[in-house]
Structure 1
Amino acid sequence: MDRQRWCARIELADAIFDYQEIWHNRQRRHSALGMLSPVQFEAQAPSTAA
């Protein structure tokens, strides 16, 4: 993000939010999930079809 010029603060804030929510929070490991990422945790959980 530091390699790009931002016209407005809101554009930078949106880019930071997108990074946090879309990449970082889905990839980082969570201790509450047994040190698995949310994607890994959901992949190993049994599916519950309604």
Structure 2
Amino acid sequence: MGAIRSSADNAAAESFNAAFKRETLKGRKGWSSEREARLDAFRWLTLYHTRRRHSRFGQRSPIPYENALRAAATALTQAA
């Protein structure tokens, strides 16, 4: 076990993996083929990054959150 915020602290990765398994498998033991697994993973990741809202980002999905950060940084740079 590592200290909090160290490279050995993998709570964020574990949370991500748990959400992925819970939301893609939906109670199944596995996928019937590698192709089905890849398609499910692609669909879920697309949803996760474009539409799924996160409480840490003020109920915004990651892409709009990052775009807002970039816009704010650009506005601050121009003002300086």
Q: TM-score, normalised by structure 2?
A: 0.44
> 1:34 is aligned with what amino acid?
G
Residue segments in structure 2 that go unaligned for 5+ positions in a row:
1-31, 75-80
Report the alpha carbon displacement of residue 20 of structure 1 after superposing the two structures with TM. Answer: 1.0
Equivalenced residues, count: 40
Q: Which has the higher contact order (CA 8 A, sep 6+)?
A: 1
Q: TM-score, normalised by structure 1?
A: 0.67
Q: What stretches of structure 1 move > 2 A for 4+ residues in a row?
A: none
In structure 2, what is the equivalent of residue 12 of structure 1?
36
Q: CA RMSD in A?
A: 1.8
Whose helix fraction is larger, Structure 1's or Structure 2's?
Answer: 2
Residue in structure 1 matching 2:53, options 15, 29, 48? 29
Q: Identity over aligned residues, as a percent?
A: 25
